[in-house]
Each structure stands twice: as C-alpha cells, then as structure tokens.
Amino acid sequence: MSLVWRVVRIQFVNWLMALGFPVLILALAFLGNVGVFAVISDVAPPEGRITGGMVSIYLTLLIAHLQTMTQFFPFALGLSVTRRVFFAATSMFILGQALLYSVLLYGMRLIEEATNGWGLHVRFFGLPFMETSNPVLQLLVYLVPFLFLSFLGVYTGIVLKRWGAFGVWTLWIGIAAAAIALAVLATWRGWWPAVGRFFTEQSAFSLFAGYPFILAVLLAGLGYLTLRRATA
C-alpha cells in the first residue's frame, strides 16, 4: 500500500493542474451561465433558468484521465512501477478526486438553494433530474458519474497506448455505430415509448449512481486487463 501511495503522489506533482484546473473550468462555466441569465432576466421565466453547465467538470476529468495514461504512465514505468501498482494508484486518485468534487458540488447546491439561485432563480448545481432528498444519496449522484467518466478517460488512454490513434478511432466509431444501430432498432420495433417510460420511472439515484457505477466497474476491470499489455 505504501508503494501505491507513493505512485499516487506522482499525480500530485502538478497538483494545481490535477485538482485546480477542473474547478477553474467549472467556475468559468458557472460565471458564464449566471452572467447570461443576469442579462436576460427580464425575458427568461424563473422556472426555465436551468443550465447544464455543471457537466463541464465531468468532461474535464474525462480528458484529464486520458492524459494520465499518455503522461504519467510512461513516467511511472520509467521508475520501474508495475502496471498493477500504477492502476491501483490511479484508481485511488480517481476515487479521491470524485469524493472531493462531489462534496464541492453538493456544497454549492446548498448555497444555491439558500440564495434562491444566486438571486436569479438559476439552477446550475441543483438540477431537478439529479435531486434526491437524502444527502448521502445526493453525494453519490454527484460522485459516481465522476468515476464513470474518469475510467472512460483512462480506458481511452490505455487503448491509445496499446493500439495508437487507430485503436481510439476504432473504439469511438464502434461505440457510435452501436448507438446508431440501437436507435434504428428501437425505431423499427417501436420501442421509444417504452424507453421513455423506463428513464422517467427511474430514480435519480438509479440513473446517475446505480447504472453508471456498474459501467465504471466494468471499465475499470477492462482497463486493468488491457493495461497489462500496454507499452509506454
């Protein structure tokens, strides 16, 4: 465990980039959205001031952990760190990041509620479809998507290290082709009403914590198996 922790510390070498940059992106998205609603407050109805800008921090982590594989992985191998130890350290770092940022988002949501949407009825952190009444479940609703997207970024980086750009293109084109095929099948079989009912009947915890957690575990396992043959 001490060796794993030492490898975790490698990712803190540039701590400002590792921990501060996602928050900076989130802050810019927040200020931009609040600024827009402040300008159009006379014409935008209060109930319609909902923004999806919070997704910016999630997408930032996806990209950041792709870079984990392209930047830190070769460096760690150069220090004779095993792939198993590196993946364990990366997973620990991802979990810590997710916990830190989920607490941040939940705290901002509480402030947003206390200030009536920053005085403008804006809902940036407290999105209606992500709300639960239980604080612990709410933290998990914020946390698990971080895990899913972070491990997706890690896996994409592993594919890049093992098969190059061709592998990454193949991976994402394959995902897009599968999504299109499922959409065509659903249209042909008339499944869209049932699909809509499924999503509307699910709780926020199921949609944002339950199912994404399963995907995150699958990606983590697949990533570890693929990393065993990846080269620096």
Domain boundaries, the chain: 2-227
Q: What phi and psi, each to the nearest 5 degrees, are found at residue 34?
A: -65, -40
Mean per-residue pLDDT pooled into runs of 10, the chain (232 residues): 80 76 93 89 74 92 88 82 90 94 96 91 90 93 96 93 90 93 92 88 91 95 86 64
In angstroms and rounded to an integer, the radius of gyration of the C-alpha atoms of the chain is 20
pLDDT of residue 1: 64
- pLDDT value at residue 206: 93
Please report the pLDDT score of residue 81 as a whole number: 84
For residues 85 and 187, give the distance between their C-alpha atoms in angstroms, rounded to a whole number.
Answer: 46
pLDDT of residue 232: 60
d(CA 226, CA 168): 13
According to the model, what pLDDT value does residue 95 have?
A: 94
| Total-model pTM | 0.92
Contact indicator for 127, 52 with CB cutoff of 8 Å? yes
Rounded CA separation 16/37 (Å): 30
pLDDT score for 42: 72
